[in-house]
Chain A
């Protein structure tokens, strides 16, 4: 196909941001700015819907490929294409960004133009990560994501936002620079940044282990895995609702995507060698962060810790190195992208009305906000992994695939599910049931806009839970390629 759809996907938000930034801000009202942002991102979403429609599921390898020489002298090329692994994540991104803008319609009052511009840039950088098949351009986009995110948390965040945003930026950067060195080394050996060519290249075993650890440092911070996860609760708690949504929904997936797209095909030997370490770290992540989540008094922090636990399932699934495991992990990624985004929106709704995130400040919300409690229940149950929701499929497949590795692993993973159910139910009970507090009485129920985006998210959750084949059809072939 000669139509440059991927470049268009990357460029549309950038062009939108440019036009917005060139328009004089004095005359524009906040609402107009948000509406124009919404038009751009919705157009982007519709554009990205072309990908699954025209994608040929029967073929191997990348499609919609575009190739331009970029740095001729250094053999670095602008080389983009998508396969089954990247398309669902692109759709998730383009789907979540309009929702982020919708949910900030009332909460972001100052510097609205900048806000929309940063979100548009963020969107195009994230899509850039998912479509690039050249290592250098992958790294460029992977790092560039930090800039708008740094500004979003820093400008519109909570009271402790500086600490959170610096920690987020520096943690991620420190991980990434090691990957940069590894990328440079790989390119100097293979003489090309092309991901397909590098997959065919075999490194010395010792060197492969070091290279794997360099990539691991970057992705483990992004995922985040157990000892590197401490930036996440801070960033989530301090970020504005929309920031948390995009952070939990898409940015955490960059790490897992990196594992599937780069680590596994590049370093087959090292992936098997480091399997026990990753399982151990993930088990600790699942059990430890679940227990930590149980003790949280801040709703956002609790959901942030639950994200770490859920991403633990993803890393375990990926490193079982079986088709089922990776399928399950991937499904969990998408499902977590929808559900945790929705949960952060849920917290955002009450925070916007009551200006507190403490669980103890809420009680009996269901009496005044029945629609809210209804949607809360759907996403809570999906996060717990109730059959029929998207959360179930991923967790089930991951747990099933761990049996082939070790029963102990299955045991710890399953404990994570139980703990997950206990803290989510506890959160739901404390917020929604119980006596109605007096200062909660005047809270208004969901507005039409909120009902609209919550129904979209709930619909997706149910759809994926009832008909998971929709996603598996897309990813099966590409994932089987990456574990060969």
Chain B
């Protein structure tokens, strides 16, 4: 007898999808409101009764907390994203109701992925998520670059799914189970299989050297889709990667451990070296996200000391900053269309106080300069990794963040020191402005009053 109670969040989203499918056809404008309210209710339910859903299962309390917290973050993130998406879509004449369905399917896939205990379920979740992402990348059908991004993303993503399936089948051949708790006593074959699974997951979170798709897809897709790729699905894949690392006890398998460390170091370095020469801001953010993935992998590897708190804290801060930066970018438009080049940021200081100062906060925070929250995120990750003895990786990480500071500073230079060359159209999007101003305040005020955020992470892992 299957206990459907534990699938409540997923069923809830499925219901939202059905409602949107039926009503969205007739009342296009309502679907955003319906889904915002829906996710709001889901968040409230998860906060209040989240743990009850999984009590009947035989999962450990820690895992349950992990599920609940990441689902809460995902559904809050969905609210912010859905609220943010309306205006940019309208501006680009892309405001069709399918888009919100893609978001919902991707979120559903992420939910399934996070709480899947079984590699096949994980595959379904990952594919559900990825297929929506391919469509979102190619959503601007009249734009060649968007089509190119969609096709690139699809073909490479299909390849990586192939790796995933092949890896899963190798593990199944060797051990005879899809369930993660049954997987132990790895032999060479299952280790190879597992490494293929890892490669596929690295591809999904765009860790170097499996990152080649990232800059092109980020650049070609509509900016609002780029924000989605950079935030929520990546978050879900990282959580799953974390679970694989933890539950299969990869730190105990020497060869896979090496793969993890090498990927982490390469991500840190490729991220910063790729970003230095970029002229297009979305490409720069793509490379910068690769660098941050390196930090997150470091956090995954050194979770033992302070539990998952450090990784989660980093992820939350990263999500907030990413949402903030993109909210500013989406609020800026040029005469030709979407905002693309870094040089178009020139002189933003003179045209808009709130945007330039929020950007200053976000980029200094990404660079890890105190007193902004990004510093503490990096600080905790490094504390964990040094305590666990990853000295070399820690040194690589901090040196990469020095190089990273260079290109973040370049953006700040463009905004604060240069005179503007072209006229930026102010979109005057109230929701977007509210989002980036409040996120900027969170990043800044964290220094003065860290308790709420720390306790949020801390209490769930008690």
What chain B residues lie within 8 Å of A180 (beta carbons)? 379, 382, 398
Q: Name B384-427 residues within 8 Å CB distance of A.
A: 386-387, 394-395, 398-399, 401-402, 405-406, 409, 412-413, 416-417
In the complex, B442 has a CB within 8 A of chain A: no
Q: CA separation between A139 and B382, bound complex, in Å?
A: 14
Nearest CB of A to B238, in Å: 22
In the complex, B306 has a CB within 8 A of chain A: yes
Residue from B309, B364, B458 in contact with A147 in the complex, judged by beta carbons closer than 8 Å: B364
Q: CA separation between A174 and B409, bound complex, in Å?
A: 14
What chain A residues lie within 8 Å of B447 (beta carbons)? 140
B350, closest chain A residue (CB): A111
Q: CA separation between A87 and B105, bound complex, in Å?
A: 61
Number of B residues with CB within 8 Å of any CB on chain A: 32
In the complex, B274 has a CB within 8 A of chain A: no
Cross-chain contact B416 with A151 (CB below 8 angstroms): yes
In the complex, B67 has a CB within 8 A of chain A: no
Among the listed stretches B109-117, B176-184, B279-287, B367-375, which one makes contact with chain A, having 4 or more residues with CB under 8 Å of it? Answer: B367-375
Nearest CB of B to A183, in Å: 9
In the complex, B383 has a CB within 8 A of chain A: yes
Q: CA separation between A70 and B455, bound complex, in Å?
A: 12
Cross-chain contact A184 with B383 (CB below 8 angstroms): yes
B451, closest chain A residue (CB): A72
In the complex, A209 has a CB within 8 A of chain B: no
Q: Name A121-156 residues within 8 Å CB distance of B.
A: 136, 139-141, 143-144, 146-147, 150-151, 154-155
Cross-chain contact B454 with A73 (CB below 8 angstroms): yes
Q: CA separation between A139 and B364, bound complex, in Å?
A: 16
- Given A154-B417, A155-B416, A147 and B306 touching (CB < 8 A)? no
Cross-chain contact A154 with B387 (CB below 8 angstroms): no
Cross-chain contact A173 with B417 (CB below 8 angstroms): no
Nearest CB of A to B45, in Å: 27
A178, closest chain B residue (CB): B398
- Given A154-B417, A170-B405, A74 and B382 touching (CB < 8 A)? no
Residue from B398, B413, B458 in contact with A154 in the complex, judged by beta carbons closer than 8 Å: B413
Residue from B306, B395, B399 in contact with A73 in the complex, judged by beta carbons closer than 8 Å: B306
Residue from B370, B406, B413 in contact with A140 in the complex, judged by beta carbons closer than 8 Å: B370
In the complex, B162 has a CB within 8 A of chain A: no
Number of A-B contacts (CB under 8 A): 78
Residue from A144, A162, A166 in contact with B369 in the complex, judged by beta carbons closer than 8 Å: A144
Cross-chain contact A162 with B382 (CB below 8 angstroms): no
Cross-chain contact B383 with A74 (CB below 8 angstroms): yes
What chain A residues lie within 8 Å of B306 (beta carbons)? 73-74
Cross-chain contact B416 with A188 (CB below 8 angstroms): no
The prevalent SS among residues of A at the interface is helix
Q: Per-residue 0/1 for A306-334: is the Cβ within 8 Å of any B Cβ (1 yes, 0 no)?
A: 00000000000000000000000000000
Cross-chain contact B382 with A188 (CB below 8 angstroms): no
Cross-chain contact A70 with B450 (CB below 8 angstroms): yes
Nearest CB of A to B376, in Å: 8
What chain B residues lie within 8 Å of A70 (beta carbons)? 450
- Given A155-B416, A184-B382, A143 and B395 touching (CB < 8 A)? no
Number of A residues with CB within 8 Å of any CB on chain B: 32
Cross-chain contact B383 with A188 (CB below 8 angstroms): yes
Cross-chain contact A166 with B380 (CB below 8 angstroms): no
What chain B residues lie within 8 Å of A170 (beta carbons)? 402, 405-406, 409
Q: CA separation between A354 and B412, bound complex, in Å?
A: 32
In the complex, A187 has a CB within 8 A of chain B: yes
- Given A74-B306, A174-B402, A181-B394, A140 and B386 touching (CB < 8 A)? no
Q: CA separation between A188 and B379, bound complex, in Å?
A: 12
Residue from B401, B417, B450 in contact with A177 in the complex, judged by beta carbons closer than 8 Å: B401
Nearest CB of B to A427, in Å: 31
In the complex, A408 has a CB within 8 A of chain B: no
Cross-chain contact B402 with A173 (CB below 8 angstroms): yes
B449, closest chain A residue (CB): A70
In the complex, A169 has a CB within 8 A of chain B: yes
- Given A180-B382, A181-B386, A166 and B406 touching (CB < 8 A)? yes
Q: Name B444-462 residues within 8 Å CB distance of A.
A: 447, 450-451, 454, 458
A143, closest chain B residue (CB): B370
What chain B residues lie within 8 Å of A161 (beta carbons)? 417
Q: Per-residue 0/1 for A224-236: is the Cβ within 8 Å of any B Cβ (1 yes, 0 no)?
A: 0000000000000
Q: CA separation between A155 and B417, bound complex, in Å?
A: 5
What chain A residues lie within 8 Å of B402 (beta carbons)? 170, 173-174, 177
In the complex, A185 has a CB within 8 A of chain B: yes
Q: CA separation between A73 and B458, bound complex, in Å?
A: 8
Nearest CB of B to A182, in Å: 10
- Given A71-B454, A185-B386, A177 and B398 touching (CB < 8 A)? yes
Residue from A143, A173, A174, A188 in contact with B387 in the complex, judged by beta carbons closer than 8 Å: A188
Q: CA separation between A177 and B369, bound complex, in Å?
A: 10
Q: Per-residue 0/1 for A61-101: is the Cβ within 8 Å of any B Cβ (1 yes, 0 no)?
A: 00000000011111000000000000000000000000000
What chain A residues lie within 8 Å of B371 (beta carbons)? 140-141, 144
What chain B residues lie within 8 Å of A74 (beta carbons)? 306, 380, 383
Cross-chain contact A181 with B382 (CB below 8 angstroms): yes
What chain B residues lie within 8 Å of A155 (beta carbons)? 416-417
Residue from A143, A166, A187 in contact with B375 in the complex, judged by beta carbons closer than 8 Å: A143
Q: CA separation between A140 and B376, bound complex, in Å?
A: 9
Q: Name B181-229 residues within 8 Å CB distance of A.
A: none
Q: Name B305-332 residues within 8 Å CB distance of A.
A: 306, 309
- Given A166-B409, A177-B402, A154 and B416 touching (CB < 8 A)? yes
Q: CA separation between A20 and B285, bound complex, in Å?
A: 33
Q: CA separation between A170 and B408, bound complex, in Å?
A: 11
Cross-chain contact B405 with A169 (CB below 8 angstroms): yes
Q: CA separation between A74 and B382, bound complex, in Å?
A: 13
A180, closest chain B residue (CB): B398
Q: CA separation between A214 and B108, bound complex, in Å?
A: 47
B386, closest chain A residue (CB): A184
Nearest CB of A to B393, in Å: 11
Nearest CB of B to A174, in Å: 5
Cross-chain contact B399 with A177 (CB below 8 angstroms): yes
A169, closest chain B residue (CB): B409
What chain A residues lie within 8 Å of B399 (beta carbons)? 174, 177
Residue of A74, A141, A162 with most partner-chain B CB within 10 A: A74
What chain A residues lie within 8 Å of B454 (beta carbons)? 71-73
Residue from B364, B369, B395, B451 in contact with A181 in the complex, judged by beta carbons closer than 8 Å: B395
B450, closest chain A residue (CB): A71
Nearest CB of B to A61, in Å: 27
What chain B residues lie within 8 Å of A178 (beta carbons)? 398
Q: CA separation between A151 and B361, bound complex, in Å?
A: 13
Q: CA separation between A181 and B375, bound complex, in Å?
A: 13
Nearest CB of A to B104, in Å: 36
- Given A70-B450, A170-B402, A150 and B383 touching (CB < 8 A)? no
Residue from B364, B379, B401, B451 in contact with A184 in the complex, judged by beta carbons closer than 8 Å: B379
Residue from A169, A181, A185 in contact with B398 in the complex, judged by beta carbons closer than 8 Å: A181
B residues in contact (CB < 8 Å) with A: 306, 309, 364, 369-371, 375-376, 379-380, 382-383, 386-387, 394-395, 398-399, 401-402, 405-406, 409, 412-413, 416-417, 447, 450-451, 454, 458
Would you give 15 A-B contacts (Cβ < 8 Å), ordered by A? A73-B309, A73-B454, A141-B371, A143-B369, A143-B375, A144-B369, A154-B413, A154-B416, A155-B416, A162-B413, A166-B406, A166-B409, A170-B402, A177-B401, A188-B383
Other contacts beyond A141-B370, A150-B412, A170-B405: 10, CB < 8 A: A71-B454, A72-B454, A73-B454, A74-B306, A166-B406, A174-B399, A174-B402, A180-B382, A184-B382, A184-B386
7 tightest Cβ-Cβ pairs between the two chains A and B: A177-B398, A140-B370, A188-B387, A174-B402, A143-B370, A154-B417, A184-B386
